[in-house]
Structure 1
């Protein structure tokens, strides 16, 4: 279940909420009854290790078989 960050426009409080994709967004602050806005964060993807380049994922077997057929 994803975590969404909300901030109140009136009192400035910020909090995170676990919500499913099918749930509606929160609109009112529980503390001051003010208007909430959903904060959008950059989703980070980190690639570590080898295998992320075209040359890393290929084996040397196809090159050897191409030479044998010619």
Structure 2
């Protein structure tokens, strides 16, 4: 189950709740009833650059892109 971050609209305090992806977003804190709003947060993992996958977007064999770090030697 994913963990979602909620912000208390009155105090600014942040909370984490585990919810199913099918569940509706909370509008109130489940225990206190205080108004809350779901906060959008960046993903935990970010892949940057090329070469992470075999089928990564690469130019066909024999072509040079001219950029450094393309992984081609030759």
Instruction: Tell me the TM-score range normalised by the shorter chain.
Output: 0.5 to 0.7
Q: Give the drift of 1:45.
A: 2.6
**TM-score normalised to the size of structure 2?**
0.55
- Return the offset for 1:54: 1.0
Is residue 42 from structure 1 mapped to residue 42 from structure 2 by the alignment? yes
- Alignment length (residue pairs): 57
Report matched runs for 1:2-21 at 5 Å: 2-21=2-21
Note the alpha carbon deviations across 1:11-57, whole angstroms, 9 max, x for none: 222111111111121111233x32100000122432578343414xx
Measure the CA separation in 1 of the matches of 2:22 and 2:57: 37
- Higher-Rg member (1/2): 1
Q: Please, what TM-score do these two structures have when normalized by structure 1?
A: 0.57
- Distance across 1 between alignment mates of 2:34 and 2:10: 5
Q: Which structure 2 residue ranges, 5 or more long, are not aligned?
A: 63-74
Q: Which has the higher helix share?
A: 1
Runs of 5+ consecutive residues of structure 1 not aligned to the other structure: 61-70
Q: RMSD between aligned alpha carbons?
A: 2.5
- Give the superposition deviation at 1:59: 6.6
